[in-house]
């Protein structure tokens, strides 16, 4: 088992070097938290790993106030607002819900990967240039944590 793209970890470490929080948000089973995180050595690269199996909400669950309860504890723990965050995810259904709740959202597709979203597309490809775009924002992504 390995990440679809090891560059995900490189970007996560670079984010952390700039004091930008970076987390994985996943609708997954308890096996992800129990075994996959350790097997892929994910914990050192991320400030948090938010798994639906651990918190009891899916990313697409919507609260009465239009918020996304999946992210509530993480936001409260870090004194963040949804507008402080960019979600990079492969869930088409999550996009409109995330935007409505105030999050930035970037959709991952087979033709537009997490790495593509993190890289500057106007002539610059140095990862630190990409990270500067996220400065003071939290990047939360799941679409790149796929396995070969």
pLDDT in tens, 1-38: 567 778 888 888 888 887 788 889 998 888 889 998 99
Above 70 in pLDDT, residue 104?
yes
pLDDT in tens, 51-98: 999 999 999 999 999 999 999 999 999 888 998 888 888 889 999 999
Confidence at 141, pLDDT banded by 50, 70, 90: low
Pairing of strands 48-51, 22-26: parallel
Bridge partner list, 87:
105, 140
Model pLDDT, residue 140: 66
Token pair recorded at residue 79: 């004194």
Above 70 in pLDDT, residue 133?
no
Model pLDDT, residue 121: 39
Model pLDDT, residue 3: 74
N-terminal to C-terminal alpha carbon distance within the chain: 6
47 in Cβ contact with 22 (< 8 Å): yes
Above 50 in pLDDT, residue 148?
no
Token pair recorded at residue 41: 């050595």
pTM for the whole structure: 0.82
Helix 7-17 vs helix 127-134: angle between axes, to the nearest 10 degrees? 60
Domain extents for the chain? Answer: 7-141
CATH 3.40.50.620 fits 7-141, yes or no: no
The rounded distance, in Å, linking the Cα atoms of 61 and 16 is: 28
């Amino acid at each position: 088992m390995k990440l679809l793209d090891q560059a995900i970890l490189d970007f996560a470490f670079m984010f952390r070097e700039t004091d930008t929080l970076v987390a994985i948000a996943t609708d997954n089973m308890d096996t992800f938290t129990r075994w996959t995180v350790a097997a892929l050595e994910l914990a050192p690269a991320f400030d948090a790993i938010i798994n639906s199996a651990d918190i009891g909400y899916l990313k697409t669950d919507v609260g009465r106030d239009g918020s996304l309860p999946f992210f509530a504890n993480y936001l409260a723990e870090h004194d963040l607002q949804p507008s402080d965050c960019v979600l990079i995810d492969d869930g088409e259904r999550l996009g409109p819900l995330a935007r409505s709740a105030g999050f930035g959202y970037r959709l991952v597709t087979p033709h537009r990967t997490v790495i593509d979203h993190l890289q500057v597309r106007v002539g610059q490809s140095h990862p630190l240039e990409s990270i500067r775009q996220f400065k003071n924002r939290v990047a939360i992504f799941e679409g790149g944590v796929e396995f070969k």
